[in-house]
Amino acid sequence: MERSRPAKPVSVKDVAANSGVSFQTTSKVLNGKGSVSEQTRKRILSAATDLGYVPNILARSLVTRSTQAVGVVASNFSDPNLSRFIVGAEQEARRQGHAVIIASIEPDGTGGHRAVRALIERRVDGIVLADPPANEDARYARLMKHQIPIVSLHDVPGGGLLTVGSDHVQTGLLATRHLTDLGHHRIGTITGPHGGRVAQSRLRGYRQALGEAGLADDLTLVEESDWQISGGFEATRRLLSRRPDLTAIFTQNDTMAIGVLSALHTLGKDVPEACAVVGCDDIEMAAYTVPALTTVRVPFYEAGAEAIRLLLKMIASGSSGLRGTLLPVQLIARESSGAG
Amino acid sequence: MERSRPAKPVSVKDVAANSGVSFQTTSKVLNGKGSVSEQTRKRILSAATDLGYVPNILARSLVTRSTQAVGVVASNFSDPNLSRFIVGAEQEARRQGHAVIIASIEPDGTGGHRAVRALIERRVDGIVLADPPANEDARYARLMKHQIPIVSLHDVPGGGLLTVGSDHVQTGLLATRHLTDLGHHRIGTITGPHGGRVAQSRLRGYRQALGEAGLADDLTLVEESDWQISGGFEATRRLLSRRPDLTAIFTQNDTMAIGVLSALHTLGKDVPEACAVVGCDDIEMAAYTVPALTTVRVPFYEAGAEAIRLLLKMIASGSSGLRGTLLPVQLIARESSGAG
DNA sequence: GTGTAGTGGACGAACGTTCGCTCTGTCTAG
DNA sequence: CTAGACAGAGCGAACGTTCGTCCACTACAC
């Protein structure tokens, strides 16, 4: 009884024909609307399952003007933080009955406009942006015109977008203060690219902690890198060749911190005895590095979920009167700072 | 001149009205079909950009019966391997002009049926399955009825699905042979859950290598775990308390291997001097663990891209006469086996 | 018997496209 | 001068839904 190949999907009309009512009535039953007698209701329902009816959301969306789908624009799905953020978003979206369409941008940061346009073509109800903007205000200004609800993980310069994130200054502050509290005086730091807001904010927190402890804020203490493991590795060598006297390094994310640990290992420096290390983010790996990494936990999963919640509220309420969310961060002390 | 809030998106009819032709002709121009005079063509095109026209793919899909979208079903987007697989798939799909809709399943493996149904409701053109089936043949048998093209990362027991993957036996073989070649005689192994095909195949490769080297295949050498860092950590303690004499451990994935390294560190065993470690997969981290992890590289990114290529071929050709792909694996020797 | 309320269901219209057919004119070959 | 070819554009229909309006019938109270 196998059907042949091109068997096109059964539509509500097929179900209707099979149960002797109009297709509009069938639609009502399938959606639990209107009033239909129990008898025909049963008949329609059983016809639907017999035929293996699967509603066509595209057609539905066309008339309801809502796709029950949200778009996620991200730069790098492999990044552990972004990955957690996206998982949080996906699960919350699913919980609320929305599908997720992903649109990635190029590693070099371009293609954001293309990605957003593709999502709009598919008429997503809203967009979550997890794309650190390389201050390309113009690009986003343009897309704002489409007046589609957007929630962003990062501040967008001229955007006025709703943002869900964490307090990066506080993150840098907690990490560095932890080190000064432990009595360190010569604390270096490895940052992300200086163009980025996150790097700037975490650096500000670092400096604030140094200030609180009465320590000088020396430019030779700061080494710029690229958020990657290999970048952290190389930055460590540069930093230590310039300042071999450091007793601690604050690294602006855990990924680079892994490279830092690796570099210190190859340099024969014990962690934390010869040099303490503190990271940021608390990626899953952080608890299992050798030695385990002290870090500041940033709730990316929760941020993703919150971004969706906010987005759906925006969609429901017509974008009115909502404020972004700033999620709290928390120090997680482990071995690499000698405080675990 | 800002438009007010509910400004509904401009349709092809709006563009048509604005340039004095029928909307069907407008459609032709916008799609580069039919023959239209250069003059009206220009007029329509400029009207389209003036009004900020964005085509509605939903409506298009409704009539063309093709959404130019594929679905990806995955269990855990945070897993580094799956993550690379998905990125590979996403990028290849994008290159070929297809959108990607993601549908996750519960961490416990349930919800696969729901995910697939959701994708079919959205009328994706095909589905990539990155969901290790816990031998739930029935579930997949059922969805096969919908006769939608599917490519899977894993073999599905009764499925007959097209598969894109790697040779797991070979993976286990290369890793273990590397250790026997280095002269190890007492080699333990930490596996994934024994119910899984991947774990079984890699175990087979491990045993084959032991056989080649004339070593006994002892059940006390095998410890089951869960693919996670923490699982690897604990499995190591169990394994070594039973067999303190081991000089090497083959771990069935790099994630667990990180836990293994961590456990050996806390036990005061130097790697590789006291105990060598070899993993599988070659996740990005592997090059930066302390010490750097010897592993067998599995091309997940390439697998994701290949899965999409295969899927789109299936879609184009009506699923006829295609074979799955088995991608080659490769040993990457680093410090943790003392061969780096 | 009439009027009113309610229930069960049919039906037309719309959503934004694509596709194929038809119609009008102009140009060219015979 | 006529037949055919062809370019340019219009138009109806269809895709699979949802929504609101309208119709027919039953039941009940007066």
Integer Cα distance of A111 and B39 in angstroms: 32
Determine the residue of chain B that is closest to A114 in CA distance.
B94
Q: Give yes or no for CB of A241 within 7 Å of strand C.
A: no
> What is the model's pLDDT at position A139?
58
pLDDT for A38-67, tens place per residue? 999 999 999 999 999 999 999 999 999 999
With left for phi above 0 and alpha for psi between -120 and 50, is residue B38 left, alpha or beta?
alpha
Cα four-point dihedral sign B243, B258, B303, B160: positive
Give the closest of B56, B122, B290 to A99, CB-based.
Answer: B122
Is residue A138 over pLDDT 60?
no
* Structural tokens at position A160: 């006025």
> Which residue gives the smallest C-alpha to C1' distance to C16?
B59
Buried b or exposed e, range A230-262, using 16+ CB within 10 angstroms: bbbbbbbbebbeeeeebbbbbbbbbbbbbbbbb
Question: What's the Å distance between residue A25 CA and nucleotide C9 C1'?
Answer: 7
DSSP helix/strand/coil, A198: helix
Is residue A1 over pLDDT 50?
no
* CATH 3.40.50.2300 domain extents, chain B: 67-166+300-327, 168-299+331-337
Bridge partners, B307 (sequence order): none
Angle between helices B57-64 and A57-64 (to 10 degrees): 140
Residues of A in contact with B102 (CB under 8 A): 90, 100-102
* CATH 3.40.50.2300 domain extents, chain A: 66-165+300-327, 168-299+331-337
pLDDT class for B78, splitting at 50, 70, 90? Answer: confident
Helix residue spans in chain B (DSSP H): 12-19, 23-31, 38-51, 57-64, 80-95, 112-121, 137-144, 168-181, 197-212, 229-242, 254-266, 300-317
Integer Cα distance of B43 and B26 in angstroms: 10
Closest CA to A26 of A46, A41, A38, A6: A41
pLDDT class for A142, splitting at 50, 70, 90? Answer: low
Q: What is the pTM of this model?
A: 0.90
pLDDT class for B159, splitting at 50, 70, 90? Answer: low
Determine the residue of chain B that is closest to A301 in CA distance.
B78
Taking CB atoms and an 8 Å limit, are B61 and A62 in contact across chains?
A: no
Mean pLDDT for all residues in chain A: 90
> What is the model's pLDDT at position B283?
94
Mean pLDDT within B7-20:
89
Is residue A158 over pLDDT 70?
no
Closest CA to A101 of A148, A133, A67: A67
* CATH 1.10.260.40 domain extents, chain B: 12-55
At residue A165's C-alpha, the angle toward residues A163 and A170, to 5°, is 130
Q: Minimum mean pLDDT among A177-181, A221-225, B37-41, B152-156: which range?
A: B152-156
> What is the model's pLDDT at position A202?
97
> Residue A10: which nucleotide is closest by CA–C1'?
D16
Taking CB atoms and an 8 Å limit, are B262 and A290 in contact across chains?
A: yes
pLDDT class for A3, splitting at 50, 70, 90? Answer: very low
Domain A168-299+331-337 is found in CATH 3.40.50.150: no
How many other CB atoms are there within 10 angstroms of residue B147's CB atom? 15
Taking CB atoms and an 8 Å limit, are B7 and A147 in contact across chains?
A: yes
Mean pLDDT within B50-73:
96
Give the closest of B8, B77, B147 to A83, CB-based.
Answer: B77
Taking CB atoms and an 8 Å limit, are A80 and B78 in contact across chains?
A: yes
Domain covering A66-165+300-327: architecture = 3-Layer(aba) Sandwich (3.40)
Non-local (6+) Cβ contacts of A42 within 8 A are none
pLDDT for B199-238, tens place per residue? 999 999 999 999 999 999 899 999 999 999 999 999 999 9
Mean pLDDT for all residues in chain B: 90
Mean pLDDT within A123-137:
78
- From residue A123, alpha-carbon distances to A58, A69, A187, B122, B180 in Å are 10, 8, 50, 13, 58
How many alpha carbons fall within 13 Å on the CB side of residue B203? 20
Is residue A83 over pLDDT 80?
yes
Angle between helices A23-31 and A12-19 (to 10 degrees): 110
* Structural tokens at position A238: 């540069």
* Structural tokens at position B194: 């024994």
**Residues of B 2-31 whose CB lies less than 7 Å from any atom of strand D:** 20-22, 24-25
pLDDT class for A4, splitting at 50, 70, 90? Answer: very low
Superfamily name with CATH number, domain B67-166+300-327: Response regulator (3.40.50.2300)
Assess contact for B104 and B159: CB atoms under 8 A: no
> What is the model's pLDDT at position B288?
86
Which numeric CATH code is attached to B12-55? 1.10.260.40
Q: Print the SS3 string covering B254-294.
A: HHHHHHHHHHHHHCCCCCCCCCEEECCECCHHHHHCCCCCE
Closest CA to A246 of A213, A212, A271, A282: A271
> What is the model's pLDDT at position B237?
97
